[in-house]
Chain A
Amino acid sequence: MSKIPSIPPPDQTRLPSLGDRNKMDTQTPDMDRRTFLCWIAGGAVTAGTLLTMGTGALRLLIPNVHYGESPRIFLDPPATYPIGVTYLEKHRVYLVRNGNQIRALSGVCTHLGCSVNLDESGRGFHCPCHGSRFDDRGEVLRGPAARSLPWLHLERTVDGRVVVDRSREVSESEAIQV
C-alpha cells in the first residue's frame, strides 16, 4: 500500500445526518392552508388510483375456474378391488377393503401434503418428507402431523361403480358394501 501515491481527500458528499435535517427543518416555514388542501386532494386521488389498480391486479391473479381434476373420482365396481389396501396412484387415495366393506382413506399427509407410503407391515402409513406415521385407521402414531388422515365419502353410480369424493370427509364407520 505504501507505494501508492497519496492524493488529498474529497469534499464531503455524504447524505445528510439526522442532525443536519433537524437544523434544516427549523428553517422551513409552516404550510399554508391552500398548499395543505392541495396535498390532501392530490394524496386522495393518488391513493384511490393505486388502491383500485392494486386490488384489480391482485384479483386478476385469483383464478375463477380450476381446470384440474375433479374432486369426485370414478372408479371400477367395488368387487374388482382385492381385500386389503390398494393405492390409487393417480388420485392419491388408499382404498381399504375389509371383507365386504370398502372405504377410502386420503393418501395426502395432513402435515405438509406429501403422499404417504404404505409402511413395511402393509397396514399403517409413513410420510417420506418429515416422518409422520399413521396407523391402519389413519390415526396419528407419530408427529409432526397433528390431524389423522381423513376418510373420504364414497358412493355408487347406477351401473355399480365406486365414486370417491375427495372434498368430503366422513367418519370411519361409513363404508359401501361389495
Chain B
Amino acid sequence: MPSPWKKFVHSVFPLGWPRSHRERLQAVRGNLWLHVFPARVRTGSLHPKATLGLGLITFNLFVILCLSGVWLMMVYTPSTALAYRDMNDLAHVVSGGRFLRNVHRWAAHLMVLFCILHLIRVFCTGAYKRPREFNWVLGVLLFGLTLALSFTGYLLPWDQLSFWAITVSANILDYVPVLGPPMRRLLLGGEEVGQAALLRFYVLHVFALPTVAFLLIAVHVWRVRKDGGLACSDPELRGKEDPNANTYVLTWPHLLLRLMLVMQATLILVFICALLWDAPLLKIANPAHPPNPSKAPWYFLGLQEMVSYSAFWGGFFIPTVFAVLLLLLPYVDSNPKGAGYWFSRHRRFAITLFAIIIFSLALLTVIGLWFRGTHWTWQWPWGGTRI
C-alpha cells in the first residue's frame, strides 16, 4: 500500500524520474515546459560551435530581468516626486537593493548585447534561409522589443539621463512625417516628459512589452523545433556531407545538461558584473540643464551620432530603412546556398555587405562613446585637440 505522500507525488509527476530511453523520451514529450524541445536532437546541434549558445543566453537574461524586475517593482513608485527617492533608497537603505538594481541593469545591457551577437550568428550561418524565414522575422521583432524595453526602462529612475534621453528621442518623432507628432503625444501623454509619460513608460516596461516579448519568445523557440531544428544540423540543407547530420541523441540528458550549464554561466556572469560595477545614477531630472555632454546608452550612441548630423535622415530615414531591410532579409536574399555553415563561400556578397553595415554601426558607436566631448564636439579619447 503506497503512502499518501507517494500518491501525491505520483499525481504531480505520473511519469516519475525517467530511468530508460523510452521514459526519457516520454519525460520530454509529456512535460509542458520541456516539450518546446524535440525529444531527440541531432548531435551536430549540441556542438558549442553550432550556436555559441547565444539565443539561450539571451533567453536566460530575459528570465533574470523578469525576476529581478518584479522585486524592483516592490520598492519603486512610478511618480516624478518619488521615483528618484526610491532609487536612492535602493542604493542606501534597502537591504541588497544596490545589488538588485545592478543585476537588473547588467542583465538589461547584456541582453541587448547578446541579442546583437545572436543576430550576427544567425546571419553568419545563413540560418534564416528557407524554411526558417519567419523565425528570423520573429527574432528581429524580439530585438526591437528588447530595445523598446531598454528604452522604457531608461525613464524610470527619473535622473538626468532618463529625462534627456526620453526628451530627445520623443522629439525625434516630430521629424517622422504625418504620424510622428500624434505618436509622440500618445507616448508621452502630453507635450513634455512628465508624470503622464512616466506612468505610460512604467506600464509598458513592466507589463505590456514583457508580455508581448514572452509570447513572441515562445513562438520563436517553438518554431526552431517545427522548422526542423538548427540549420547547421539540417540534413536537407547539409546533405550527406555531414556525418553527424543524422546521428540523434536524447534531449534528456544531453541537451538539458548543456542548457543548465549555460544558465549557470549566465547567472554567474550577471552576478559578477553586478558585484563589480554599480549602476550609475545621475542627479535628479532637471529640465533647465541637460548634462554636458548628454550621452545615450551605448546601443543608441550610433543613433545619437547620426542624429547629430540630421534629425530626419539620421533619426528616422536611415533607421527605418535599416529596420525594414532587416525584417525582410530572408525574402530579399534569394540565394538558397550556404545555410547551416559559418561564413559560407557561396554567400560572399551578403556577408561582405553585412560586415560593412555592422562595422559602420560599430564605428558610429565608438565615435559617440570616446570621440565626443562637451557640446558633442569632437575630441580625442586621450584628451586635447579639437577639430
Contacts of A29 in B (CB 8 A): none
B313 to chain A: closest residue by CB = A144
Partner of B39, one of A10, A112, A117, A127: A10
Residue A130 is within 8 A (CB to CB) of chain B in the complex: yes
State how many angstroms separate the Cβ of B145 from the closest Cβ of chain A.
20
Q: Are A130's CB and B308's CB within 8 A?
A: yes
The reply to whether A62 and B287 contact each other, CB–CB distance below 8 Å, is: no
Interface stretch, picked from B188-196, B328-336, B346-354, is B188-196
A55 CB, min distance to chain B CBs, angstroms: 13
Asked whether A68 is an interface residue with its Cβ less than 8 Å from the other chain, the reply is yes
Q: Are A144 and B189 in contact (CB under 8 A)?
A: no
- Please report which residues of chain A, range 87-121, place their CB below 8 angstroms from some CB of chain B when the two chains form the complex: 87, 89-90, 92, 111-115, 117
B247 located at the interface, meaning its Cβ lies under 8 Å from any Cβ of chain A in the complex: yes
Q: Is A4 touching B249 in the complex (CB atoms < 8 A)?
A: yes
Q: Let me know if A14 and B228 touch, CB within 8 A.
A: yes
Complex CA distance for A5 and B191, rounded to whole angstroms: 65
Could you tell me the distance between the alpha carbons of A58 and B190 in the complex, rounded to whole angstroms?
Answer: 14
Is residue B185 within 8 Å, beta carbon to beta carbon, of the partner chain?
Answer: yes
Interchain nearest-CB distance for B240 vs A (Å) = 14
| A128 contacts partner chain B, Cβ-Cβ < 8 Å | yes
B182, B226, B244: the one within 8 Å of A1 (CB): B244
- Known contacts being A68-B191, A114-B168, is A4 close to B39, with CB within 8 Å? no
B21-48 Cβ-contact flags toward A at 8 Å (1 or 0): 1000000000000000011100100110
Q: With the chains together, A117 CA to B164 CA distance in Å?
A: 15
Interface residue B341 (Cβ < 8 Å from any Cβ of A): no
A144 and B290 in contact, given A4-B249, A62-B186, A112-B171 (Cβ under 8 angstroms): no
- Shortest Cβ distance from residue A154 to the other chain B in the assembled complex, whole angstroms: 20
Residues of chain A lying within 8 A (CB to CB) of residue B246:
9
Task: Check A126 for interface membership: any CB of B closer than 8 A.
Answer: yes
| Across-interface contacts of A4 in B (CB, < 8 A) | 43, 249, 254
Question: CB-nearest residue of chain B relative to A117?
Answer: B292
User: Taking each of A9, A129, A130, which has the highest tally of chain B beta carbons within 10 Å of its own beta carbon?
Assistant: A129
- CA of A15 to CA of B194, assembled, Å: 48
B65 to chain A: closest CB distance in Å?
26
Q: Which of B5-13, B92-100, B318-326, B374-382 contacts A (4 or more CB under 8 A)?
A: B374-382
Pairwise interchain contact B226-A113, C-beta atoms closer than 8 A? no
On chain A, the residues within 8 Å of B375 by CB distance are: 117, 126-128, 131
Q: How far is the CA of A144 from the CA of B315 in the complex (A)?
A: 12
Query: How far in angstroms is the closest Cβ of chain A from B328?
Result: 18
State in angstroms the CA–CA spacing of A46 and B188 once bound together: 31
The range of chain A's interface size is 35 or more
Q: How far is the CA of A8 from the CA of B256 in the complex (A)?
A: 20
Q: Give B224-244 as 1s and 0s: 1 = Cβ < 8 Å from A's Cβ atoms.
A: 011110000000000000001
Task: Name the residue of chain B whose CB is nearest to the CB of A66.
Answer: B190
CB atoms of A129 and B168 under 8 A apart: yes
Q: How far is it, in angstroms, between the C-alpha of A113 and the C-alpha of B192 when the chains are bound?
A: 10
State A87–B289 Cα separation when bound (angstroms).
Answer: 11
How far apart are A25's CB and chain B's nearest CB, in angstroms?
Answer: 18
CA distance A113 to B186 in the complex (A): 18
Are B190 and A129 within 8 A (Cβ)? no
- State whether A128 and B47 are in contact (beta carbons under 8 Å apart), knowing that A113-B167, A144-B310 are contacts in the complex: no
- Please, which residue of chain A has its CB at the minimum distance from the CB of B372? A131
Q: Quick one: which of B164, B226, B291, B309 contacts A13, CB cutoff 8 A?
A: B226
B294 interface residue, CB < 8 Å from A?
A: yes
Least distance between B123 CB and chain A CB atoms (Å): 23
Docked Cα-Cα span, A131 to B386, in Å, equals 13
Assess whether B308 is in contact with A131, with CB atoms less than 8 Å apart.
yes
Give chain A nearest CB distance to B299 CB in angstroms. 18
Q: B311, A68: Cβ atoms under 8 Å?
A: no
Q: Is the CB of A115 within 8 A of B309?
A: no
Distance (Å) between the CB of A28 and the closest chain B CB? 22
Query: With A and B bound together, what is the CA distance between A63 and B200 in angstroms?
Result: 12
A38: Cβ under 8 A from any B Cβ: no
Q: Which residues of B contact A111 (CB under 8 A)?
A: 171, 311
A24 in the interface, Cβ–Cβ < 8 Å?
Answer: no
Q: Is A61 an interface residue (CB 8 A)?
A: yes
Binding site for B on A (CB under 8 A): 1, 4-10, 13-15, 17, 58, 61-63, 66, 68, 87, 89-90, 92, 111-115, 117, 126-131, 143-144
6 A-B interface contacts by CB (under 8 A): A14-B226, A89-B288, A112-B315, A113-B167, A115-B289, A127-B375
Instruction: Please give me the 10 A-B residue pairs with the lowest Cβ-Cβ distance, nearest first.
Output: A131-B376, A128-B292, A89-B288, A130-B308, A113-B171, A112-B171, A112-B168, A114-B290, A4-B249, A129-B294
